[in-house]
Amino acid sequence: MPTLLNEPLQLHDLRDAEALAWKTVYRAGGKYWPREDQEDAVAFLLATAWQLSLTYDEKRDRAVEKGRRPTFSDYCAEILRRRLVDFTRKTLGDPGSDPGPLSFRSTGSSTTPQPGDIDWTILSPIGKATLLGIAVPLSRGATVTEIGRETGLSTNFIQKQMQSLRAEIQNGVQKSTDERPKSA
């Protein structure tokens, strides 16, 4: 695993905060991101882990409510997963509100919908999840088998989800084309 720091950063019982950050990024499909995006995400998560370590109170840990022994490493891992979602929405864009990096406009007169022609806000929650969890890693070079291995989904299910996403996008493009005013 790559490293940004010269030595492991230990925070409370967490022996290597950087290793946890890389693991969090990789599990979220970040291994298909460009290297600089991976490093930015890991740096963000390291800073977040350090901030969490300053305010961590074992007595207020939710593990106590669940009858488990509280550990900073478990607490930190849970929070880092959530903060990574925030980071990716901020840097890569949230298809639920803004097309983000997929907002480039197509040039030419292709009949295939281009990312700039698509209103990403019309996707269903399942369509958004398929876009982020399957379509984006595929577009960055992952194979269906790799995605299946990481997510626990069968290749058949992944392919069906991609077919559903294509249909959803095409229906959305068709509706938006039908709603455009006709030029005389």
pLDDT at 170: 80
Rounded Cα distance, 137 and 59, in Å: 39
- Distance from the Cα of residue 94 to its chain's centroid: 9
Of residues 180 and 66, which shows the higher confidence score? Answer: 66
pLDDT value at 108 more than 70: no
Rounded Cα distance, 165 and 112, in Å: 14
Backbone angles phi, psi at 87, to 5 degrees: -60, -45
Rounded Cα distance, 98 and 89, in Å: 9
The predicted-structure confidence for 5-27, as pLDDT tens digits, reads as follows 889 999 999 999 999 999 999 99
Rounded Cα distance, 40 and 36, in Å: 6
pLDDT tier, 99 (very low <50, low <70, confident <90, very high otherwise)? very low
Question: In percent, how much of the chain has pLDDT > 70?
Answer: 78
Q: Which residues of 31-53 are buried (b: 16+ CB within 10 A; e: fewer)?
A: bbbeeebbeebbebbbebbeebb
The predicted-structure confidence for 48-97, as pLDDT tens digits, reads as follows 999 999 999 988 888 888 888 899 999 999 999 999 988 887 776 654 54
Cβ-contact 70, 61 below 8 angstroms: yes
Rounded Cα distance, 124 and 38, in Å: 28
- In the 8-state DSSP scheme, what is residue 143? -
Question: In percent, how much of the chain has pLDDT > 90?
Answer: 27
Lowest mean pLDDT among 29-43, 70-84, 110-124: 110-124
Average pLDDT over residues 105-129: 62
Q: pTM for this structure?
A: 0.53
Of residues 117 and 67, which shows the higher confidence score? Answer: 67
- In the chain, which ranges are continuous DSSP H helix? 17-27, 35-55, 62-65, 72-92, 125-130, 136-139, 144-151, 155-179
